[in-house]
Amino acid sequence: MERLAWLRWMIGALALAFGLAVAAPAVAVTGTPLAVCVRPALPGQTAAALFAEPAGFDCATPQTRFGGGDFWILSQRLPTVDGDDATVRIGSTWVNRVTLFVLYADGSIRRTGFTSRTAGRSLGLGAVIVQPLPRHDATPVRLLWHVEGAANLRGLILGPAIASHDQRDTTEILLAALYGGFGGMAIALIVYNLALWGALRQAFQPAYCLLVLCLLAYALTSSGALGQMLPGLDNNDRQRLNALFLAGSAAAALLFARTFFERAVFAGWLRPASPMVMAALLFTGLVWAAFAPWHFHMLDTLLASAYLALLVLIPVVLFRAWRARSNFLWLFALAWSVPIVVAALRVANAFELLAWSIWLDNSTILSMALESMLSSLAIAYRIRLLSVERDTAREQEIAARLLADTEPLTGLLNRRAFLAQAIGRPGDQMLLIADVDHFKRVNERIGHDGGDEVLRVVARALRNAVPPDALVARIGGEEFAILLDATSAIAPDAVLERLRSQRMPFDIVVTASIGACTGPLLYEKDWKLLYNCADRALFAAKAAGRDRAREAPPVCIAA
């Protein structure tokens, strides 16, 4: 069953990776990308005049170089499309208002648009704004966006593309499958880790639940699903939440690593450094969400720097884990390799070293979906090691307890363990005291090693002569005690017969005497009375010539 469980995890991880590899290109090519040119907005400009003067637009300078403000963005000439079946897709950015002007072949211009407060009505999964082209009899030939209040952190118009309604629906279905699959998996991971935490109480389990919960919230905000559920939510406020939950996810990931690895991995300067990076991520994310768009680029640079600090810290953690020969390094590295690469790409995009793309914009949640699957495998392995460690510790504890309760030479109970189990037994009990006759002579004849072997043979014979629930102990040098319920008592002579039938070392003849007594054994005082009674019976057996048994009457216990 354990092998099948591991196999299911591996198949699930491979299936998810395959699904991402197949679905991502499908999402990326759903629609025809459009090249655009930029022009800063000035008072008095009109859409008709700008359509007529395309040469005034800058098509070479990267959009982020223009900074924030108001702009006009002109598309290339559109491919031949059916205007009634066409939609325009752009990535969601921080803007106050976007107005889309459409130039048709007959020279007509139609307009549509949205503000940050109304963007939720046009928000599709993947955090893209999807706008149908205004209906008109002529064919659309060019698009012009008027962007007002743009922060321009990653660009003014991100990933513009024109797509049919069928292509739009295909994209929505694919993204819904990916985000829905991640959401379901995230909820399942939270539930089973919390359930296991109730039993195992390992610190990495609530840390991992916090990580997955933050990722779930990030997926809800970054996918645009939150905007669809709450159309009245300001799109800029959605992006505030998105930034906050992403920072929380990064901090939770570091917290998970800190609790997942052995303590030695985060020894030294790394122990205070890791919470400092977590605090920096949470603080900069909170400041970004609270104060944007105030000094927007400065806030964004600070947040990106916190992510950069995390990326610098990760190789150190992995190297420390390798130096410490961590049992969990290979699984952690396998699970987090893709998210780390994606995080590096996102930081490069934040520092304008890499251009924006819809694939890059959705890469975090897709990579974290793969990470969640593989991390659950790592956690399963971690739990398995914990189970092995606990089983081993339990076995060692049991063995230690047995050693503490066992007389080492014969393997019988020692006096302390015998009394602990004997006193308090309900009902009348029969106590037999057996003593090897002339044991000093046995030692003188065959040596102490031979004498020890004689004691082992006697112990084995006594154990085999009584029922399994009887207590058998060595309570002195050559003295043994047997205690059993009076209702299932055996004759002391039967025990002697068992002893006489045993073959002794060097074929010497060894005999024993037995004294027996029956009575209650609820309290320690009862033990003293019962033992004295059996001991007197043993003395009587010795006095009568040894190699025999004597049983005292129960009434003697009251004497």
Interatomic CA distance for residues 454 and 448, integer angstroms: 10
Q: Give the sheet arrangement for strand 36-40, strand by strand.
A: 36-40, 69-75, 140-150, 97-104, 109-115
261 closest CA partner among 209, 201, 197, 322: 322
The neighbour count for residue 387, using CB atoms within 10 Å, is 11
pLDDT at 6 over 60: no
Q: Are 459 and 406 in contact (CB under 8 A)?
A: no
> Residue 171's pLDDT band (boundaries 50, 70, 90)?
confident
Report pLDDT for 438: 92
Q: In what order do the strands lie in the sheet with 549-551?
A: 471-474, 479-485, 425-436, 512-521, 549-551
Q: Is the pLDDT of residue 298 over 70?
A: yes
Cα–Cα distances in angstroms (integers) from residue 121 to residues 115, 235, 334, 495, 556, in the given order: 10, 10, 40, 93, 98
pLDDT band at 515 (very low <50, low <70, confident <90, very high): very high
Distance of alpha carbon 35 from alpha carbon 73, whole angstroms: 10
Is the distance from CB of 132 to CB of 87 less than 8 angstroms? yes
Residue-level pLDDT at 534: 93
Give the closest residue to 167 by CA, choosing from 142, 139, 130. Answer: 130
The tens digit of pLDDT for each residue in 89-116 reads: 998 899 999 999 999 999 999 999 999 9
d(CA 537, CA 195): 60
Rounded Cα distance between 474 and 457, Å, is: 13
Tens-digit pLDDT profile for residues 144-159: 999 999 998 888 998 8
Q: What is the pLDDT confidence band of residue 384, given thresholds at 50, 70 and 90? A: confident
The type of residue at 394 is R
Structure-block tokens of residue 301: 């640079």
Tell me the pLDDT band of 16, cut-offs 50, 70 and 90.
very low
Q: What is the share, in percent, of the chain residues with pLDDT greater than 90?
A: 43
Could you report the per-residue pLDDT of 436-488, keeping only the tens digit for each?
999 999 998 999 999 999 999 999 999 999 998 899 999 988 999 999 999 88
Q: Tell me the three state secondary structure of residue 215.
A: helix
Mean pLDDT taken over the chain: 83
pLDDT (0 to 100) of residue 219: 82
Query: Could you give the CA distance from residue 356 to residue 365 in angstroms, rounded to a whole number?
Result: 16
pLDDT score for 17:
44
pTM of the entire structure? 0.63
Confidence bin at 81 (pLDDT 50/70/90) = confident
Other Cβ atoms less than 10 A from the Cβ of 277: the count is 20
Confidence of residue 263 (pLDDT cuts 50, 70, 90): confident
Residue 336 has pLDDT above 70, yes or no: no
pLDDT value at 559 more than 50: no
Region 493-498: what's the mean pLDDT? 92
- CA-to-CA dists, residue 216 to 93, 221, 368, 474, angstroms: 21, 9, 10, 65
Q: Which helix (H) or strand (E) holds 183?
A: helix 165-200
Whether the CB-CB separation of 262 and 333 falls below 8 Å is answered with: no
Strongest mean pLDDT among 56-65, 122-131, 402-411: 56-65
Lowest mean pLDDT among 3-12, 55-64, 160-169, 518-527: 3-12
Q: What's the pLDDT at 557?
A: 46
Average pLDDT of 37-52? 94
Strands of 158-164's sheet in order across = 32-33, 158-164, 86-91, 128-132, 123-124
Which ranges of 324-435 would DSSP assign to H, the alpha helix? Answer: 329-350, 358-405, 415-422
Torsion angle of the four alpha carbons 91, 93, 97, 100, in this order, in degrees rounded to the nearest 10: -20
